[in-house]
Structure 1
Amino acid sequence: MKIGFDAKRLFWNQTGLGNYSRNLVQGVCMQFPQHSYVLYTPRVQTNEHTHYFLDRCSVVQAPYAFASSLWRSFGLVKNLEKQNIDIYHGLSHELPFGIAKSKVKSVVTIHDFAFKFFSDDFPLFDRSVYNIKWRYACNHADAIVATSEATKADIIRYFRIPESKIHVIYQSCDARFSIQKTEEEKQVVRSTYHLPDTYILYVGSITARKNIRSLLRAYELCMHQINMPLVLCGNGSKYKKEIETEIIARNLQEHVLVRDSVAVHDLPALYQAARVSVYPSLYEGFGIPVLEAIKSGTPVITSIVSCLPEVGGNVAIYCNPYSVESIAEALVESMSSEYHSSDFSRKLQEHAAQFSHEAFVEKNMSMYQNLI
């Protein structure tokens, strides 16, 4: 087979959608080298994340840089037909218009519907464009990948897509999270980011949807009981500045430590050095930081909403994200020796095995093969 991928996020997004794209494309290249893979991107970016793909895949770029977005939406089908692509996989919510009239089979991955649930976070124009692209892709794809059962339900709810067309395929995360770090390696990361020996860790964007204000207030309620700082790692804009202002207003500067995004190679040690990871999000399409914590062997607190119980299973500590008191109770509970025993570590490993990278890749490939 000759399989094409929408590689814009693979080359230009260093977090969620980019990681998903890189994990899948690298996986099929390694596990199924008998097939050919072509990456379609408006432009190429060369860095530590993309060298692998430039060496092993064919790459097609937009013919004119000034019209690259238009090419991705309206001009790409000609390239797919010219290059005899059997299957094209849109890895982040969209497909080129007109693909349904071509001979190319198409797959689209739908990650979430954040723009519908949290409309205030998205300009009206962006919401309108997303709705058109999401709907077109779901209606015209030969198969749809949903990253969770919760996302599958949203696809049916918003676009009335037949359930039989939707495949729930859980993603995995980088294998580096499963590799246990030495105490020396953990100490290097603590020193790099000026962190204490033990802490509570949040990793993710610092936005309203991630519920950081409630986390901050919950921590304030119980910080003298748990007696360790809260570390917030992630980027943000206006909301992050509001959080930093609130930390100062509440005189929590010595207790709540804010760090910008951490280098990818430092994340496993950062998780493993933490006493517990916390992710009280209001809505997710999958919730990769929950899986990263579990793969790292770190107890995790997360919300009992959206897809998060699918990822956390029976090893996460759950809270009601709309209740500051519930989050505080979960923080206190997470300090219990029950969650820091060898037995619990084994449970984390067993649960993490359900989200293997090999299974993620194999299920996607099986879906491709069934379309031909």
Structure 2
Amino acid sequence: MREAGQLEPFEDLDVLADQYARACDGADRSQRRRLREDFVREALPFAGRLARRYRGRGEPTDDLEQVARLGLVKTVDRFDPERGSFTAYAILTITGEIKRHFRDHTWGVHVPRGQQDRVLEFVHARAALTGELARTPTVAELAERLGVEESEVLRAQTSAAAHSTESLNSPLGDSTSGSEMGDLLGGPDGDLTLVDDRATVETLLCELPARERQLLALRFWGNRSQVEIAEELGISQMHVSRLLSRALTWLREAMLSDTTPPWTGSGGSEHRVLVTTGPDGVHARVHGEIDRDNAHVVRRELLNAGGSCGHGRRLVVDLSGVPLLSAAGIAMLGAVHTVARGRNVTMLVTGVPAYAIRILEISGMRALVDGCTR
């Protein structure tokens, strides 16, 4: 046999295999081991040439040559001279080992074996068409070359992207910076979970009266304090606090319920004065808050009710449905009382909030209250 390290042409392997087979006949175990080592050593250049055919596919050349050499050893151990050419058997065995290495060890994620084979066909066809067309081939052109549907080409293209992956711990740029690939990925965006809530709140805000919308805008968008809001709107800070609390409570209930609850505060469509006429006079039941925004409306309605009483009759104003009676509301009652007295109508106020009794006394209107407070 030839000296180790000599390059052998492809056809010489069959001669070497024939010489190796004849030399092994009648040799003992140690002699066969030496002959085997010599044969493998002289065939190594052939295995190296097969391995170098697969360069540039993402695997180090040294690793490919190592796989090819293992395939050569398997070929030598399994070769039977009676079954044909050693060279043909070696090519099949070594290339099979190299392809198996690509299939089992070079994919970043698991891809079925059949799909891996289609990916290899796709890669080869794309490279060939790129050379022929001098441009990147289209999906239709690849499908025609491979004789498959375009959907198969798209699946192979997607699977090919899984062949080579990078670790999130791969360094970025200068390794001394300490930055890794994973640093480029954003974290969970908590605001995404609030999209539905924001859309719902925007819809509900449109159902609030204009005054409440203005208060909420000044407080939460304008970042104004309650004192500043009170000065701008000409009401007390306590009144601002009540209005904000009521608006927020209604929004919270509306967010948690399937149906929108009715708005019962002042300024909404539910604010009203219900007037009933009896044998002794007129009964006016007021619903909703009374402040400077609607005091003039309530005053007009009460005056209309008082005008229908007639001389010597009574006008009973029921405030039990009024959750808030502001200073403007107190002044409104005084104005209605003055007009009613000029018409010889006795005005009586029932259901007055307890906190308003003292204010009525100071204003000289204690006589309006029948003693029924709440």
TM-score, normalization: structure 2?
Answer: 0.22
Q: Name whichever structure is richer in helix by fraction.
A: 2
TM-score, normalization: structure 1?
Answer: 0.23
Q: Name whichever structure is richer in strand by fraction.
A: 1
